[in-house]
Structure 1
Amino acid sequence: MIHYQITPKNLNSHLFSVALSFATQVGKTYHLSLPAWLPGSYMIRDFAKNITEISAYSSDQETTQPIEAVTLNKTDKQTWQLTATSANTTICYQIFAFDLSVRTAYLDSERGFFNGSSTFLQVQELPDERCQLTIALPQDLAAKASTPLNSWRVATGLTRAKGTDKYQLGDYIAKDYHELIDCPVAIGNFDAFEFVVEGVTHHLVFTSQHFGDRERLKADIAKLCQHHINLFGEAPFKEYWFITHLLGSGFGGLEHKNSTILQASRFDLPNPNRPDETSENYQTFLSLCSHEYFHAWNVCRIKPKEFIPYNLQHEVHTRQLWAYEGITSYYDDFSLFRSGLISFEDYLLQLSKTATRVYRGQGELKQSVSDSSFDTWTKFYQQGPDGVNNIVSYYTKGALIALWLDLTIREKSAGVYSLDTLMRELWIHFGRTNIGTGEEDFINIANILCNDDITADFQALLNNAQRVELAPLLKQVGIAFTARKFKKLNSLETTDNNAYAPYIGAQYSALPLGVKITQVIENAPAAQAGLAVNDILLAVNNIKVTEKSLQQLADHLPENTELTCHYFRDDQLMTSHLVFIDSPLAAIAITEVDRTLSEKWRCKN
């Protein structure tokens, strides 16, 4: 067994101390490395850059105490090499932990967190060795913690060793290195509560102060979990952990086999003073929980053949992320409706926004979702300011393809089967068996369920840069798919009338002084004016710009009005001319027109 011990070393300097001890053969060479990326986040992260000190020692096998130094040579950006001089070797190193995202590690006086992929060196010669992790807190740091260290607890999906109780500091076990790094760990004086679905205990952990309604959180998230377990037919884990970092503002999630790390605003949670209200922010949080929980089946276990096994040392390309993120994105909001957490009208509004995100730019007409999946390492996770114009998201367009597939299967099977059926078949034949999928597997199962050959249409949607024609399919289930004008300048909402709706073709975020441009649609008025991403728009027609004032100005002027605008690009003040035109029909409204027909889609199969 390989033994790891992690201890906060300096809270204010954000340093974890890690010791790695393992049995060695004298004279044998061993290689130690950190992954370059972690599953679910497809970008090279180079976690090894956060190792600030590292050394190796021969050590006593029982106590793992260092005896004498062993030469440790770095062979590349993330790998070290040593030749053993005794029967046991210990590696001591420090990790700088100051990334409160869902991907890396963080430590301060309030809380700690780490993903094993950014924290624990792998002994490359022992990839299948069992691992024991000891989590300890030195009492000499007690005065520096914002809460007493003796109140700090542990939240993780790792198996508790004998003698270590739930939430307790102590020893945890992983069957191998890959399981070790698949179970992130939160430590601190967090809030934690539980609920049970189908005999599985689910833990809700919030790592910072919050004011949310705990009983409602348990009830609502339990409904989502029940929905997903029913869909796949079983829960593939003995317990599940929702671990949420709460901040002033934030959003994100990362899936693991029996847990997820989420990031949200502390005020995204349900307001206990308004028990009947589901705010837009709370709906977004529930959707995030739904998305990451669905991933426990779809990508954590059902996965592309290129990911079996994962090679975390360099990029691993697959053309199937449209299925693993797109199908999951289709189900995240749809499951909120199916679970009774939002109305069908609210669900269609969210689906409309998804379609609008795809339709408003030209990216989907330049890049296929298959290419988008393959190029995620450089074009999606590191997309430039031209993203909306030149690439397509395999999340959003993948969700539309999932909708197309669901409706197509329902139509051709006369309502006997649906995308639910396809997902269950994938689970049985690929998830349970740990056999990776290819594009052809999705197509073959769909053809069987449809009792028809839809290969050509399916492949065209995946491999061509073309629109997903949803209107005819939606019409058959009583839903209208309509292209409309944007209701406001900086919104995805639509207007249902033909009145003039001002448009400049840019998205922006509010700043204390002006607004910061975040997207510019090619050939739109903002682009014609020379505005670019990261410009700070200060004034239009000599009127100070705020998100509100810019909209008010646009609403009070006639179509095609040309106005002088002032903006900062970097530290230079620049001047141009901006024209307000009538909105193009680039916003999508998806609405119910026949309740009886819509039952064909809303029902579960």
Structure 2
Amino acid sequence: MTTSRGRSPSPRAAVRYTVSVLSAHAHLFAITLRVQSAAKNQRVSLPVWIPGSYLVREFSQHLQNLGAWQDGQPAELKQLDKHRWQVRCEAGKPLELRYEVYAFDASVRTAFLDATRGFFNATSLCLQVLGQEDQPHALEIEPGPATEGWQVATGLSPHRVDADGFGHYRARDYDELADCPVEMGRFWSGRFTAAGVEHRFVVSGAGAWMDGARLLEDTRRVCEAQIALWHGQGGEKPPFDRYVFMLYASGDGYGGLEHRNSTALICQRSDLPRQRAPGEKPAPLKATDGYTTLLGLISHEYFHTWNVKRLRPAEFARYDYNAENHTELLWFFEGFTSYYDDLMLRRAGLIDEACYLQLVAKTLNQVRQTPGRLVQTVAQASFDAWVKYYRVGENTPNATVSYYTKGALVALCLDLTLRAEGHSSLDAVMRELWQRCKGGPMREADLLRALKRLGKRGFEGEIAAWVHSTAELPLPSLLQEAGAKVTHEKAPLAQQLGLRVAEVNGSVLLKNVLRGGAAEAAGMAPGDEWLGIELPAPRRGGAAEAWRIHKLDEVAELRGLQPSLTALVSRDRRLLRCTLHWPTESQTVRLAVGDAVRLALWLQE
């Protein structure tokens, strides 16, 4: 038996949960909730969203067979709305509720269970006891036949757990319980120390070929770089005494969700580092490598430990789990984190300058190819995340801009401007905000004050133009001044035509038709299947030519030099002809190393 290290004994929990596997094959968790001292007619609720993922997800849809007991007798339950219930009970006495939750969502946001693995966030499994959210909570993870040979990993403080991690955990309140997901299964596990703090990394679903030692070492270097950014070399300790990375390697998945001392991650299994032959050196990482993407994800979620989990929008000072929590600051908390995630890979020495600049160019081109950037400001995109960013449709790129990507470019603009003017850097601004807001709630005004103090002038004009308007960002000139070489190259055909397509089994399916593009002018629409093209007669008196296409690039090959063609599309089983006028050539930005000395002042700080 083990107990939490370096902690005083926890008070008896007012709210206790026991979680066990009811049926792995039916994907059912069984939960028992015990309330030490219930209120009269106690109310309980299940959150409708999880912090960090800004969409109402209705977790209560998976809750079933809810029952309540007091004094050993059934207590009457009344459902009040989609996620709240009231128990007819007496005040001051213990109350017990038992229920089941269906768990078969392999994302980082909810809960999953089968015969190989279990995972859950408390927001999906643990009913809130209304009025007692600030009381000490306890969670027991109960072993059973279905979990034979399994282990448990979580950021929760252990109270009485066995060698595999099953047993009792404590949380100061419901918020802490909700912020510590649980991974269960036969996973790979490793540990490292960064800045004197123990970090655990568990990977579920990996093949025996995974190079765990490399994963640990590369992650350690990222963590060391970030701790140094926030607290300085050999400075104060990070705001946690241990940290857990929980990675699920799947056949085709990607995502992450940040927590106060842990993160849940998903990657494609093929993105994991592979073991090398003895003496074989790892090849330099490229921007297109899946492992580079995985390291960027790890870096992103770890950076959130400071930027959004502690330093957070004032609107998030206290989460309301019952409804949307709006803020205009996601461009800062998600966007600035997106700026630093890849930059920390460079600072940690995991990628070189050329690779990093390719990643910046990718973000820059993504924003430039989004017509919604001219429709919605990045502050509005932050506020509308609940109804636009997380509800992706065929018109999404025309109506909104990503606060991740444009927010990252705003951070880049500020960093390069501060450095060009010679007074400070964005690193110093982030540290100033951490100290000014005491690692807690902040407002845009706090950022402006930090910029003014460190930058020696006001930045209201830049924030107004870059955040609260749809004006283009002055990145080409800033990047060149910082030592990057900015060139342009021919854009892919889909971008030239104003399309986003999927090529499936020999069919070209239109996913998005971008605002102001040639495809929109031709009358093409999302959902169309582009079957072929018709070309005018090649010579006078001849017949028009019609060609079947199976890939988009065939359009350019077949059109020759014709200024227009007729696109043959299928829409709702009707065959339509759309006259497509070939656009002037569009370009994408390409970044490379220009002045290596100036570039190093930015990238190797």
TM-score, normalised on structure 1?
A: 0.89
What is the match of residue 25 of structure 2? 12
- Structure 1 position 446 matched with structure 2 position 451: yes
Counterpart residue identity of residue 131, structure 2: E
Distance in 2 of aligned mates of 1:504 and 1:531? 11
Distance in 1 of aligned mates of 2:520 and 2:436? 49
- Structure 1 position 363 matched with structure 2 position 366: no
- How far residue 550 of structure 1 moved from its aligned partner, in angstroms, is 2.8
Task: Select the residue among 514, 523, 535 that pairs with 1:521.
Answer: 514
Bigger drift between 254-263 and 380-389 goes to 380-389
5+ long unaligned stretches in structure 1: 60-66, 143-148, 492-502
Bigger drift between 106-115 and 553-562 goes to 553-562
CA deviation string 1:135-161 (max 9, x = no partner): 11332xx4xxxxxx3211111111111
Q: Cα 1:96–1:557, aligned 2, differ >3 Å: closer, same or farther?
A: same
CA deviation string 1:153-206 (max 9, x = no partner): 1111111113444x4211111111110010001111111111111122222211
- Structure 1 position 291 matched with structure 2 position 300: yes
- Structure 1 position 271 matched with structure 2 position 274: yes
- Structure 1 position 558 matched with structure 2 position 560: yes
CA deviation string 1:23-69 (max 9, x = no partner): 235x712110011111111111111111122010115xxxxxxx210
Counterpart residue identity of residue 268, structure 2: S
Paired residues of 1:447 and 1:455 also in contact (CA < 8 A)? no
- Structure 1 position 478 matched with structure 2 position 483: yes
CA deviation string 1:567-592 (max 9, x = no partner): 4445555554545544323x222333
Paired residues of 2:335 and 2:411 also in contact (CA < 8 A)? yes
Distance in 2 of aligned mates of 1:95 and 1:78? 13
- How far residue 478 of structure 1 moved from its aligned partner, in angstroms, is 2.0
What is the match of residue 222 of structure 2? 224
What is the match of residue 40 of structure 1? 52
1:318 aligns to what SS in structure 2? coil
Q: Cα 1:134–1:382, aligned 2, differ >3 Å: closer, same or farther?
A: same
Structural mapping, 1:23-102, within 5 Å:
23-25=36-38, 28-59=40-71, 67-85=72-90, 87-102=93-108
Counterpart residue identity of residue 192, structure 2: F
Task: Select the residue among 434, 445, 470 that pairs with 1:427.
Answer: 434
CA deviation string 1:533-591 (max 9, x = no partner): 33343445665544xx4325524643445445444445555554545544323x22233
Q: Cα 1:571–1:53, aligned 2, differ >3 Å: closer, same or farther?
A: farther
| Identity between Structure 1 and Structure 2 (%) | 36
Distance in 2 of aligned mates of 1:376 and 1:584? 30
Distance in 2 of aligned mates of 1:563 and 1:275? 52
What is the match of residue 398 of structure 2? 389
What is the match of residue 504 of structure 2? 511
Q: Cα 1:364–1:174, aligned 2, differ >3 Å: closer, same or farther?
A: same
Bigger drift between 418-427 and 519-528 goes to 519-528
Counterpart residue identity of residue 594, structure 1: D
Distance in 2 of aligned mates of 1:579 and 1:457? 39
Distance in 1 of aligned mates of 2:69 and 2:573? 52
- How far residue 431 of structure 1 moved from its aligned partner, in angstroms, is 4.5
What is the match of residue 596 of structure 1? 597
1:240 aligns to what SS in structure 2? strand
1:290 aligns to what SS in structure 2? helix
Q: Cα 1:174–1:482, aligned 2, differ >3 Å: closer, same or farther?
A: same
5+ long unaligned stretches in structure 2: 1-12, 232-236, 535-545
CA deviation string 1:88-143 (max 9, x = no partner): 1111111111111110111111111111111100101111111111111332xx4x
Paired residues of 1:559 and 1:580 also in contact (CA < 8 A)? no
2:51 aligns to what SS in structure 1? coil
Q: Cα 1:575–1:213, aligned 2, differ >3 Å: closer, same or farther?
A: farther
- How far residue 275 of structure 1 moved from its aligned partner, in angstroms, is 4.8
Paired residues of 1:559 and 1:581 also in contact (CA < 8 A)? no
Distance in 2 of aligned mates of 1:38 and 1:32? 17
CA deviation string 1:492-543 (max 9, x = no partner): xxxxxxxxxxx32212233224133333222322223333333343445665
- How far residue 335 of structure 1 moved from its aligned partner, in angstroms, is 1.1
Structural mapping, 1:236-385, within 5 Å:
236-273=239-276, 275-277=281-283, 278=285, 280-385=289-394
Paired residues of 2:494 and 2:552 also in contact (CA < 8 A)? no
What is the match of residue 170 of structure 1? 167
Counterpart residue identity of residue 452, structure 1: R
Paired residues of 1:132 and 1:173 also in contact (CA < 8 A)? yes
CA deviation string 1:319-350 (max 9, x = no partner): 11110011001011111111111111111111
Paired residues of 2:161 and 2:169 also in contact (CA < 8 A)? no
Paired residues of 1:504 and 1:579 also in contact (CA < 8 A)? no
Distance in 1 of aligned mates of 2:141 and 2:575? 53
What is the match of residue 494 of structure 1? none
Distance in 1 of aligned mates of 2:329 and 2:27? 38
Distance in 1 of aligned mates of 2:572 and 2:59? 31
Bigger drift between 149-158 and 207-216 goes to 207-216
What is the match of residue 199 of structure 1? 196
- How far residue 283 of structure 1 moved from its aligned partner, in angstroms, is 0.7
Distance in 2 of aligned mates of 1:281 and 1:559? 38
TM-score, normalised on structure 2?
A: 0.89
Distance in 1 of aligned mates of 2:559 and 2:506? 23
Counterpart residue identity of residue 523, structure 1: G
Q: Cα 1:112–1:539, aligned 2, differ >3 Å: closer, same or farther?
A: farther
Paired residues of 2:559 and 2:565 also in contact (CA < 8 A)? no
Paired residues of 2:160 and 2:167 also in contact (CA < 8 A)? no
- How far residue 22 of structure 1 moved from its aligned partner, in angstroms, is 1.0
Distance in 1 of aligned mates of 2:161 and 2:363? 49
